[in-house]
Amino acid sequence: MPISVTSDRIMFAATWIVVLGLVTWFNIWLEFLLFWIVPCFTTYIAIGWCAELAEHYPLPESENKRLLMTRNRHGWAVENFLFGRHYDRYHLVHHIFPTIPFYNLKRAHEVLLEDPSYRKWDAMWGGIFTRRHPEEETLISYVRKYKDEISREERDPNRPSFAQRILLQHPLAQGA
């Protein structure tokens, strides 16, 4: 059953009333400021920016197929913890079905793996910096290949996109 906007607002307000009440009760305003508020406007923004790059770049500038416009990230546990909050690493699922709440993204991903096109695209991706399998692409490895190839080629509208060509050649996508 979906949560209504009113219920969501009430839960949000109740959460903050409890948090601010506890901060006041324990008199930890300085700690709250230094370890919650300041990071929200500094490191959290940097981490979010890295995650956005990892989920999109350079796909929107090179792709025209919806499935190939973003990716899921499957890095090591530490990377997933730092950059995959609220199941954000299932970003492709979020783009295909934007109304699915974050806590159901993993379950939706498991259902989508039954689709061969989704499974092939998902199989070739590691994380931003790490990968679980040596053949997976990280954001870094993919961007290097993309930049190398784009610098050598002229754009031909009839030629398959870079992601389509990589997908056709990728060993993990072949067996998926």
Q: What whole-number distance in Å separates Cα of residue 89 and Cα of residue 18?
A: 29
Higher pLDDT, 157 or 42: 42
The per-residue b/e assignment along 84-111, b for 16 or more CB within 10 angstroms, e otherwise, is beebbbbbbbbbbeeebeeeebeebbee
**What is the mean pLDDT of the segment spanning 101-125?**
94
Q: What is the mean pLDDT of residues 53-77?
A: 83
pLDDT digits over 4-63, tens only? 778 889 999 999 999 999 999 999 999 999 999 999 999 988 888 888 888 888 777 667
Model confidence at 155, pLDDT cuts 50, 70, 90, reads: low
If phi > 0 it is left, if psi is from -120 to 50 it is alpha, else beta; for residue 153 that is: beta
pLDDT at 65: 78
Closest CA to 166 of 133, 140, 136: 136
pLDDT score at 176: 55
User: Domain segments of the chain: what residues?
Assistant: 1-41, 58-175
